[in-house]
Amino acid sequence: MPIASKGTKAVKIAEGVSAGGRTPLFLIAGPCVIENEEKAFALARKIKAICVGLKLPFIFKASYDKANRSSLKSFRGPGMARGLAILQSIREELSIPVLSDVHETSQVAAAADVLDVIQIPAFLCRQTDLLVEAAKTGKPLNLKKGQFLSPQEMENAVEKVLSQGNDRILLTERGTFFGYNNLVFDVRSIPTMKRLGFPVVLDASHIVQRPGGRGAASGGEAEFIPLMIRTGVAAGTDGLFLEVHENPAKALSDGFNSLILNKLEEVLRSALRIKKALLE
C-alpha cells in the first residue's frame, strides 16, 4: 500500500472544514504577519475564492506578533489585542477558520477565544508548559516540528498534548537545520510523523527559508516552493502550509520565502492532481 493512501485521524477544525481522514488535501495559508487589517482581509478573500473553486478546505493563518524575528528592529505585527481582533473579524465576516501562534502561556486563553487552531511555533515545540496550557483549551493544535528535531521526536510533543485529553493535533514539517543559515526537507519526515496517527502538514514556505541568511533578517528561495509541494504531496502529506503575499518583495516579514498570490491556484491544482493520482 502506498504511503499516501494510509489514513490519519480526521480532525474537525470548524463547520465543514476537517483535516486528515478522508480529506484529499487541506490548506493553511496567509501572510507571515498581519501587516494591517485591509491587506489581511484582501488576502483572506482572494485565497478563499481560489480554495472554493478547487473545493479545498482552507484555514487562514497570520501572526499577530512575530516574537522570534532576527532583529530587534524587525516588524513584529499589530500586537495581540489588535491582531486577534482582526482575525476575529476575518473569521466572522468571511466565514473562514483562523490560525495563529502563541509564544507564552499567558497568551493562550485570549487566543483560544478567537482562533480555530492554535499553533505552537517550531522553536517552542519542546516547551512543556506552553503545550500543556494550549492543550487544555481543547482547541485543535498545530505543532510545528522544531528545526533541531528528528521527526520521530515529535512523539514527545504529541504525548504532552494527549496528557490533557486533547487529541485534536496537526503535525507540521518545516525543515531541518543543515549547517548555518540553511534548511533541508527530509521527505521521510512525512511518513514518519504520519505513523503517529495525526494529520501531517507540509510547510513549503519555511522549508525554503534561509534562517538569518541576510544578517538581520532571514532569506529564502521561494522559487523552490512548488517543487517542495509536489515532493511533499507525493510523500503523503495531508495538508499544505503556505505563506502567501500579493507582493513578496514588499512583505514586512518572510517575503523571500512567500509564494506570490498569482501563482497560488496553479500550484494548488498541481498538488491536487498528484494527490488524486496517489489515491486512485
Pairing label, strands 219-220, 209-210 = antiparallel
Tell me, what's the pLDDT at 71?
67
The pLDDT tens digits for 213-235 are: 666 667 779 999 999 999 999 99
Q: Identify whether 7 is part of a domain.
A: no
| Res 85: pLDDT | 98
Short-list 230, 231, 229, 223, CA closest to 242: 229
Amino acid at 261: L
Nearest alpha-carbon partner for 124 in 171, 157, 90: 157
- Where in the sequence is the domain holding 105, given as residue range(s)? 21-279
List the helix and strand counts (H, then E) for the chain: 8, 15
Residue with cell 512583505: 251
How far, in Å, CA of 79 to CA of 99, rounded? Answer: 15
Q: What is the dihedral of CA 127, 132, 138, 140, to 10 degrees?
A: 20
Residue 11 lies in a domain: no
What pLDDT is stored for residue 4 in this prediction? Answer: 38
Condensed to tens digits (0 to 9), the pLDDT of residues 116-155 reads 999 999 999 999 999 999 999 999 999 999 999 999 999 9
Instruction: Flag whether 2 is in a domain.
Output: no
**pLDDT-above-70 percentage for the chain:** 95
**DSSP three-state, residue 247:** coil
What pLDDT is attached to residue 66?
A: 81
| 77 against 241, higher pLDDT | 241
What CATH number has the domain bearing residue 217? Answer: 3.20.20.70
Q: Is residue 15, in this structure, part of any structural domain at all? A: no
**Predicted pLDDT at 5:** 38
What is the pTM for the complete model shown? 0.93
What's the CA angle centered on 236, arms 232 and 238, to 5 degrees?
Answer: 90
pLDDT value, residue 2 = 36
Distance of alpha carbon 158 from alpha carbon 8, whole angstroms? 14
pLDDT at position 46: 98
Q: Look at the chain and report how many structural domains it folds into.
A: 1
**193 has a pLDDT exceeding 80:** yes
